Structure 1
Amino acid sequence: MSLINVTNLTFSYEGSYDNIFENVSFQIDTDWKLGFTGRNGRGKTTFLNLLLGKYEYSGNITADVVFEYFPYEVKEQSNFTIDVIREISPDSLDWEIGKELSLLDMDCDALYREFFTLSKGEQTKALLAAMFLKENSFLLIDEPTNHLDGEARKKLSNYLKKKKGFILISHDRSFLDHSVDHILSINKMNIEIQKGNFSSWWNNKELQDNFELAENEKLKKDIRRLSSAAKRTTTWSDSVESSKYGTTNSGSKLDRGYVGHKAAKMMKRAKNIEARQQTMIEEKSRLLKNIESNESLKISPPVFHEKKLAELSGVAIKYDDRVVCEGVSFTIEQGEKIAVLGKNGSGKSSILKLICGDNIPHSGIVRKNNNLIISYVSQDTSDLCGNLSEYADKQCIDESLLKAMLRKLDFPREQFEKNMEDFSGGQKKKVLLAKSLCEPAHLYIWDEPLNYIDVISRMQIEKLLIEHELTILFVEHDKVFCENVATKTIQL
């Protein structure tokens, strides 16, 4: 066991006026299984790069370990998988490589296939096996679950449960719960570490948020009451002070000393009330700093004139000589929220594209109304370029509405003027989702919409889909999201 010490860490990107980190200090035990969470753009990947020494910073990071970062870049994709693993971990023996792959429930035959022929899930497993074969390393694992199906995620979480000594960035709540024993969270105003998994951290956060909100309301009421009392007392004091130059009803002169003393007492009381009020305002200013923006998203999709929107009957999809899926039959009716489930390569994305009208080689029957308006969100964000104003104009959507939707998803205002090529992976995905939610569609079709999206934004989108009567067909591997949202599932 050793410690990673972060002391007074301050960092900002060149040309930026905003610090990503400012005077941050904490310790990490290298035996921990550390889940790393925080909203998109807060600096999770940046922090991993600081540990790797990629950027200059002020402050200190000290550690007695070597850091390894996942995902590795595999330059020679045509190499056999075993050669890719040996390049990463040259001291590993064949039996050690085979053991790691078996723990990941991966067929050792994959070792003697060219790396590019493996599925995304198999590539992830092979690279993670190579990473854990390196001894005396502290592993920095950046979003390994993207594009992994539910079964692969479950096996990967079981694998990580047997390991120790890593930081894991993931936005999958169930995956984090089964993989980690500590949570490192980048909040709005600070960074904190808690023992436990994601659910225990989230529960503690909700308790703290609720306490601060209650305290805030209490202080607001007290400040209003004290403000009113101070105003009354000051008015009385001024009135009494001015009266000492008058006379009594009988015509005799007032005791100016007594009246002045009374006025001074009232003024002192007003000052004391003001001091108490100021103390409360200062206490209030310390509250709510880490409460996340979690506004409800709102949309008003148009109602279609028929209950049934689309239907598939006996559909089979075949690429060249390979049958991807067959015997697919289901209907899509208004208000349904349908999750399409299945392993990687089972044809989920192809089914979605087929309904969207893409030229997918298939047999069987696909019926949909000609007047049906579909809004589609792709897995791919690589075509996003230019700024948001240009994007809104190109997509024929209201720019102010798009930006308002993004703000609710915790999108920083300063990002609005930047080119989308410079956005983080999560921010790019939020642009696609916000664009879709701005479109008045009868049917929303989303293909792995939550890749790279932070947990709180996932919860916002989840709440939107539960509360609104919209119709959606989606592919998603986040187990909790699917369980909470889907009214019907299609298993391929």
Structure 2
Amino acid sequence: MALLSLLDICVNFGGPAVLDHLNLQIEEGERVCLLGRNGAGKTTLMRIAAGEMAPDSGVITHHEGVTQARLTQEIPHHLPGNVQSIVESGLRTDSLEEEWERDVRVDSLIERLGLDPEKAFDDLSGGLKRRCLLAQALAAKPDLLLLDEPTNHMDLESILWMEEFLLEEKIPLLFVTHDRAFLRRMANRIIELDRGKLMSWSCDYDTYLVRKDELFIAEERQKAAFDKKLSQEEAWSRRSPGARRTKSNARMEALKVLRQVRADMRSVTGAAKMEISNADRSGERVVEAENIEFSYGNDQKVIRDLTLRLNRGDKVGLIGPNGAGKTTLVKMLMGQLEPTGGNIKFGTKLEVVYFDQMRGLINDDLTVAENLAGDSDTVEVQGRSRHVISYLQDFLFEPTRARSKAKVLSGGERNRLLLARLFTKPANVLVLDEPTNDLDAETLDVLEDLLVEYKGTLIIVSHDRDFLDNVVTSTLVFEGNGIVTEHAGGYTDWRNEVERIANGKRAQPIAAKPNAAPEIKPVAGKSSKLSNKDRQDIVELPGKIAELEAEQSKIAVQLADSEVYKNGGALFAELQKRLQAIDAEHHAAMQRWLELESRKG
């Protein structure tokens, strides 16, 4: 059953169409992730799907009786009431439930999300506000849940809880996220908004990345072939004296069509080009903390007896619940806050630059360019002067966007502007507080590569598990009660270490019986003997899998052709249906082949 259908949706804000005859259908059981570049129109599409905004044209259909709720990207300011009242406001007024059932659900959500029901919403941290708003959205028991950057400002514990909760509840989802670990775990379908069009991929994220590369290559080849044809026709029209005679009219009309098609083509936005303004090298020792502690005037210590040394080139990630003291530790390591116990020594020649999580450095009343360069037309990067508009293009701001007021920027664009500001400042120590919020996947990849190559020292606070795994060399984990432990590697290395320790403890009673023979239990229903049918399958399946993958690639090439989207998108729908069938066949074939291989031994 289709929970939501969007047909031929168009939205235009004066430039190229943001949504260009877009079609989307979401079925029961689907968890759909919406991807796209910052500013591509993802939030616009989410608002239309939620009924908060009307498109310029098109039809929106909700199945009768289907309810939906939305968690927005931005946290509302000055929302009156306490946590209890905010969550209760999400309850449906037309529900037939008994009042006690509604009360139980609200209390359960508040408890499971670790919230204080009496706490005023405005007094909560950014992460706790996010949890409260999620509870509000879930209170209505929606048939379809729309989530716009749900992991923003959430700590890892809350994110992991949310993943488990949403999977257990089996709530159909339409969501936007920059968190690739969340995306990998949650999405069973991916849709991508690119140049006003929507492409659907019925697969996991890693398979999508492979197919996306294939599609990009096919699109570039098609574009090159089109340009060659157009060039040939233009040359013919110039050198042929009779090009405008009656016999040639048809060819000239065809040339006009080619020109118009080329003019309407929208190229893929290039990748961001970032570079850090490096300061002179710091000394070998950056900061050394010995038995430091911190408390805010009460008996509860935020940091307890921490000894730590950071050397030049170290890349350290901080993980912990909201309110655990991560920002407090960062400020102490930056020299902005004195510890209440212990001492900190700082190295020489330190040039520290701080990336602010709350984006308080951006003035909404100034243009993007003015936020970066003030009244000047130039900025200094890597010791050389650059025109501010040219520099902003490296961060994917087109000239018209660079001259727009900052208040119109999307969340991802605001983060890119902050990164542009950050990288103009010479630094040998970078402190990044949630730098990945709202960034698109391509910009995230570029930022990761840049930070991996960075020769200075990094201190990173992030809930983005993939980002930490790819960038940091060690991790500080806030365990609670002021205890901070240090671990080699990123998030996954830390989790593996915790699991190894836990498994070691559980294994001790078994190890006490060294002479006990291991018990071997046969797997029920899994005979190691292969039947004739099994042996035939094990020979034929690799060929079938290869054929399916070849057909996948062929369809990817077809989907790159603009002709597919004409006549109401009938061919597009047919190709998408076949692609979904191929996905199912490919998965079944792979599972069968792997099972037979394991049984073959």
Per the normalisation by structure 2, the TM-score is 0.65
Amino acid at match of 1:319: Y
Q: Which residue number corresponds to residue 302 of structure 1?
A: 279
Structure 1 pair 401/67, CA: closer, same or farther in 2 (3 Å)? farther
Alignment of structure 1 residues 76-475 onto 2, 5 Å = 77-79=80-82, 81-89=83-91, 92-100=101-109, 105-107=112-114, 110-116=116-122, 118-135=124-141, 137-162=143-168, 163-213=170-220, 291-299=268-276, 301-304=278-281, 306-321=283-298, 322-359=300-337, 362-369=340-347, 371-385=349-363, 386-394=366-374, 397-398=379-380, 400=386, 403-475=389-461
* CA–CA separation in structure 2 for the residues paired with 1:445 and 1:401: 26
1:34–1:183 contact (8 Å) kept in structure 2: yes
Query: Per the alignment, in what secondary structure is the counterpart of residue 423 of structure 2?
Result: helix
Where does the alignment leave 5 or more consecutive residues of structure 2 unmatched? 240-247, 479-601
Q: Which residue number corresponds to residue 45 of structure 2?
A: 47
451-460 or 129-138: bigger deviation: 129-138
Amino acid at match of 1:476: S
Amino acid at match of 1:166: L
Query: Per the alignment, in what secondary structure is the counterpart of residue 376 of structure 1?
Result: strand
* CA–CA separation in structure 1 for the residues paired with 2:375 and 2:182: 35
Amino acid at match of 1:336: D
Structure 1 pair 465/327, CA: closer, same or farther in 2 (3 Å)? same
2:284–2:347 contact (8 Å) kept in structure 1: no
* CA–CA separation in structure 2 for the residues paired with 1:368 and 1:473: 15
Shift of 1:446: 1.0
RMSD: 3.8
Q: Which residue number corresponds to residue 38 of structure 1?
A: 36
1:402–1:434 contact (8 Å) kept in structure 2: no
Query: Per the alignment, in what secondary structure is the counterpart of residue 111 of structure 1?
Result: coil
Find the structure with the greater CA-based Rg: 1
Amino acid at match of 2:166: L
441-450 or 418-427: bigger deviation: 418-427
* CA–CA separation in structure 2 for the residues paired with 1:20 and 1:222: 29
Q: Which residue number corresponds to residue 252 of structure 1?
A: none
Query: Per the alignment, in what secondary structure is the counterpart of residue 88 of structure 1?
Result: coil
Q: Which residue number corresponds to residue 264 of structure 1?
A: none
Q: Which residue number corresponds to residue 63 of structure 1?
A: 62
Structure 1 pair 150/41, CA: closer, same or farther in 2 (3 Å)? same
1:401–1:438 contact (8 Å) kept in structure 2: no
Per the normalisation by structure 1, the TM-score is 0.78
* CA–CA separation in structure 2 for the residues paired with 1:331 and 1:299: 24
Query: Per the alignment, in what secondary structure is the counterpart of residue 438 of structure 1?
Result: coil
Amino acid at match of 2:312: Q
The share of aligned pairs that are identical, in percent, is 22
Q: Which residue number corresponds to residue 481 of structure 1?
A: 467
1:216–1:287 contact (8 Å) kept in structure 2: no
Cα-to-partner distance string for 1:261-319 (whole Å, 9 max, x where unaligned)? xxxxxxxxxx9xx99xx9xx99x969996744225433351341522222222222222
Structure 1 pair 296/381, CA: closer, same or farther in 2 (3 Å)? closer
Shift of 1:83: 2.8
Amino acid at match of 2:308: F
* CA–CA separation in structure 1 for the residues paired with 2:453 and 2:371: 28
391-400 or 439-448: bigger deviation: 391-400
Shift of 1:406: 3.5
Structure 1 pair 324/403, CA: closer, same or farther in 2 (3 Å)? farther
